[in-house]
Amino acid sequence: MAAPRNPVRPPVVDLNVLATGGAWVDAAPFRAHLRRLLFDSAEHWRVVALACGVAPATVRHLLAGRDGSPARRIRAKDAVLLLTTDPDRLRCLGSTPVPAADSVRRIAALRALGRSPAWIATQVRLGPADLVRLSDSSWCSALVELRAACACSTAGLSGWWSGDAWFDDDDRRDALDTGPCCARRMPDWAA
pLDDT tens sequence for the chain (191 residues): 454 454 444 455 555 555 555 688 888 889 999 999 999 999 999 999 988 888 888 899 999 888 878 888 898 888 888 888 888 888 888 888 889 998 999 999 999 999 999 999 999 999 988 988 998 889 999 999 999 998 988 888 877 676 665 555 555 555 555 544 555 554 454 44
Q: Is residue 102 part of a domain?
A: yes
What gap in Å lies between CA 124 and CA 63, rounded to an integer?
23
Q: Is residue 148 part of a domain?
A: yes
Burial category of 119 from C-beta neighbours within 10 Å (exposed 0-12, middle 13-18, buried 19 and up): middle
Residue 186 domain boundaries: 15-93+180-190
Q: What is the torsion angle, in degrees rounded to the nearest 10, for the CA atoms of residue 68, residue 69, residue 75 and residue 77?
A: 70
Q: Is residue 7 part of a domain?
A: no
Q: Is residue 22 part of a domain?
A: yes
Burial category of 72 from C-beta neighbours within 10 Å (exposed 0-12, middle 13-18, buried 19 and up): exposed
Q: Is residue 6 part of a domain?
A: no
Q: Where would I find the H helices in the chain?
A: 15-20, 28-41, 45-52, 56-64, 76-83, 87-92, 101-112, 117-124, 128-134, 142-154, 170-176
Same domain (yes/no): 27, 86: yes
Handedness of CA 27, 28, 32, 33 (dihedral sign): negative
Give CA separation, 45 vs 20, 55, 114, 115, 188, in Å. Answer: 26, 11, 24, 21, 24
Same domain (yes/no): 78, 107: no
What gap in Å lies between CA 70 and CA 188, rounded to an integer?
26
Same domain (yes/no): 37, 86: yes
pTM for the predicted model, two decimal places? 0.74
- How many separate domains does the chain show? 2
Q: What is the torsion angle, in degrees rounded to the nearest 10, for the CA atoms of residue 93, residue 98, residue 100 and residue 103?
A: -50
